[in-house]
Amino acid sequence: MKILVIGGGGREHALVWKLKQSALVEKIWCAPGNGGIAADAECVARDGGDVPAIFALAEKIAPGLTVVGPELPLVHGISDAFTARHWKIVGPLLQAAQLEGSKIYSKQFLLRHAIPTAKMYGAFDSVADAYAALDRVAWPLVLKADGLCAGKGVLVAKDKPEARAFIERVMEKGELGPGGQRMLLEEALEGDELSFIILTDGHRYAPMVPTRDHKRVFDGNAGPNTGGMGAYSSDDLLPAGLRDTIISTIVEPTLRGLARDGVSYQGFLYVGLMLTKAGPKVLEFNCRLGDPEAQAIVVRMDFDLAEVLADVADARLDPAKLKWKSGASACVVLASGGYPGKFDVGKTISGLTCIEAYTGVSVFHAGTRRHGDALVTSGGRVLGVTAAAASIQDALQKAYDAAARIHFEGMHYRKDIGAPAGRLKAVGD
């Protein structure tokens, strides 16, 4: 099997790392890849969001299977383009990807199919109407820009001035680009957040192990939001009762709803949940694996990912094939000084030589590139140090021990990844 992976972050390195372990795989390309992926795949300098460029690349190299990491190519219709040519690809078609591409579409989908979610106050394409609606809502209020906004499109506002300022920035001034032309206002939910990710071929589905990520930059969930500073997975993260509830009240109604709407969804579907006192409710859908959740997930896979993804592309997923290592995993993200604000790039990274052999951890690269013989930083999130073990404590220990060997100027990371492990038991059942 020859596989093309689209994307160039830690999630894509994790996918490449796992795909490469398959005896079925003879070649992997990655577009654009990064400095670490280059050791495991042939990187091709193409922008993943540029569908014509990826299409032209696929025409030339003729991969037997294409796996899409990020949302942008999907929302730009890469799966439609490939499917029209009968090229195998894992990732939903444009219409199905609207579950992520439009928060308003996604909210209307949830309401139409009576799937638990935050109450909607309204969806607006007029600034005046959005301002006016602020008189009819409860506080705090959640404001969501409709389209893709790179994680900057949602605000939980405590009062009207804060909400007004956000509407002004996003809708009037267009600071987040076209994704901010429409705005959804919804009820604020309280509880713990949980990511529940499934893989589906449009008929059957298989859940990934449950994960939780850490979005704030500093320990104790302090500081601004990031793309994700770490993630963990453990068997006891999700009690069986709650898992069943999520499947019966959220996952299966979602798949039935898609079928009823005549939308065929194929690929990874990420369900962002708030575990409220009234049960789990959907915060959002993503049409892909999360990053860094993917890193914590792949190290627990005890199956041939290439075989399973090929099955998905052929619409013959066998959920029984997805076996998991029991225990836990953790991914600690090492970030550039200043991230998520302004940061420098081009810092030399040291301490990576033989680290996988010494420590048994996997270091997934996100913002790295090769510079001669050296590896240097090229992004805000630089590396995801990821370990699987029998317990979350052991997984964290391994990941943190390895992280301590790695260095680049300004490097920082959270010391409390996985800290809330186990807390759910008190909330969930």
Ligand X SMILES: Nc1ncnc2c1ncn2[C@@H]1O[C@H](COP(=O)(O)OP(=O)(O)O)[C@@H](O)[C@H]1O
Chain contacts with ligand X (rule: CB under 6 A): 118, 142, 151, 153-154, 156, 186-189, 193, 272, 283-284
Closest approach, Cβ 295 to Mg ion, in A, equals 17
Q: Which does residue 363 touch among Mg ion, ligand X, none (CB within 5 to 8 A, set by kind)?
A: none
Q: Which run of H or of E encompasses 279?
A: strand 279-286
Q: Which does residue 201 touch among Mg ion, ligand X, none (CB within 5 to 8 A, set by kind)?
A: none
Closest approach, Cβ 184 to ligand X, in A, equals 9
Spatial neighbors of 16 by CB under 8 A, at least 6 apart, are 5, 28, 30, 33, 37, 40, 41
Tell me how crowded residue 52 is: count the other CB atoms within 10 A of its CB. 11
Closest approach, Cβ 423 to ligand X, in A, equals 16
Closest approach, Cβ 148 to ligand X, in A, equals 8
Q: Are 375 and 349 spatial neighbours (Cβ–Cβ below 8 Å)?
A: yes
Which one, 223 or 272, has the nearer CB to Mg ion? Answer: 272
Percentages helix, strand, coil for the chain (3-state, rounded to 5) are 35, 30, 35
Closest approach, Cβ 230 to ligand X, in A, equals 15
Q: Are 225 and 151 spatial neighbours (Cβ–Cβ below 8 Å)?
A: yes
The region, left, alpha or beta by phi > 0 then psi within -120 to 50, assigned to residue 401 is alpha
Q: Which does residue 366 touch among ligand X, Mg ion, none (CB within 5 to 8 A, set by kind)?
A: none
Q: Where are the beta strands (DSSP E) in 14-87?
A: 27-32, 42-43, 65-68
Closest approach, Cβ 154 to ligand X, in A, equals 4
Which one, 89 or 157, has the nearer CB to ligand X? Answer: 157
Which one, 284 or 293, has the nearer CB to ligand X? Answer: 284
Closest approach, Cβ 145 to ligand X, in A, equals 8
Note the helical H segments in 249-391: 252-260, 293-298, 305-313, 355-359
Q: Which does residue 247 touch among ligand X, Mg ion, none (CB within 5 to 8 A, set by kind)?
A: none
Q: Which does residue 151 touch among ligand X, Mg ion, none (CB within 5 to 8 A, set by kind)?
A: ligand X
Q: Which does residue 129 touch among ligand X, Mg ion, none (CB within 5 to 8 A, set by kind)?
A: none
Residues forming the site for Mg ion (CB under 5 A):
272
Cα dist. 190→142, 193, 213, 312 in Å?
12, 9, 17, 35
Which one, 154 or 263, has the nearer CB to ligand X? Answer: 154
Q: Which does residue 61 touch among ligand X, Mg ion, none (CB within 5 to 8 A, set by kind)?
A: none
- Between strands 141-145 and 65-68, the pairing is unpaired
Q: Which two tokens stand for residue 124?
A: 């607006």
Which one, 284 or 311, has the nearer CB to ligand X? Answer: 284
Which one, 241 or 341, has the nearer CB to ligand X? Answer: 341
